[in-house]
Amino acid sequence: MFTGLITDIGQVVGREGGKFTIETRYKLSDKDTGASICCDGVCLTATSFAPTANGSRFTVDVSNETLSKTALNAWVPGRRVNLERSLRAGDELGGHIVSGHVDGVTKIISITPDGESKRFLFEAPEHLARYIAPKGSVALDGTSLTVNEVSGARFGVNLIPHSLTVTTWGAKSAGDTINLEVDVFARYVARLMEFRP
């Protein structure tokens, strides 16, 4: 489980099929083998580690199912990725509950300056649009964000300068494909409504 609060920007430094190597400032060691790390919103299991001068390198194995359902198939060496370690008992839940189970991908339709912030407009896949509500939460590339407005399948979010700096969002462009996880509570409420008498 995660919060959607990004704690590092990692970089993909190697890929062999579905095996990726990511460099991070996290100090990881063999005792972390099997740890869950959220990478651009996808919960992945770290399988090996190597120390670096400023942190560590870790490897993850990504299944064909995950590659087909997320934006990870476009990862190449040099790609910067949002990272978050899994939530521990007693940690502050500052964002919202994020499982790291991506529901689908969305594309950035437009980016508009709004003072020092930026407003991002997305179009959700039709089957996920009903779970997105104004002032609700979404996780986009692993980042917990509040939905500003919704119009049909389109929805907008606002990113403040801090978020643009400490995540990969400051380098995003219109047309980029983004991992989308809808709010888990919205998903369960919608499911319960299907069984109303």
Contact 40, 125 (CB under 8 A): no
Same domain, 108 and 186: yes
Residue 98 gets which letter from DSSP? B
Report the distance separating Cα 196 and Cα 189, nearest Å. Answer: 11
**65-83: per-residue pLDDT in tens?**
999 999 999 999 999 999 9
Mean pLDDT score, 151-158: 97
Same domain, 80 and 135: no
Per the domain annotation, does 67 fall within a domain? yes
Same domain, 71 and 124: no
Mean pLDDT score, 135-139: 95
Per the domain annotation, does 115 fall within a domain? yes
The pLDDT of residue 197 is above 70: no
Report the distance separating Cα 67 and Cα 52, nearest Å. Answer: 28
| Side-chain-side CA neighbours of residue 158 (13 Å) | 10
Report the distance separating Cα 136 and Cα 98, nearest Å. Answer: 13
Q: State residue 107's pLDDT score.
A: 97
Q: State residue 196's pLDDT score.
A: 67
CATH number of the structural domain spanning residue 122:
2.40.30.20
Range of the domain at 110: 104-193
Amino acid at position 183, single letter = D
* Cα-based distances in Å from 40 to 71, 104, 132: 9, 13, 19
Residue 192 pLDDT class (50, 70, 90 cuts): low
**114-131: per-residue pLDDT in tens?**
999 999 999 999 999 999
Per the domain annotation, does 111 fall within a domain? yes
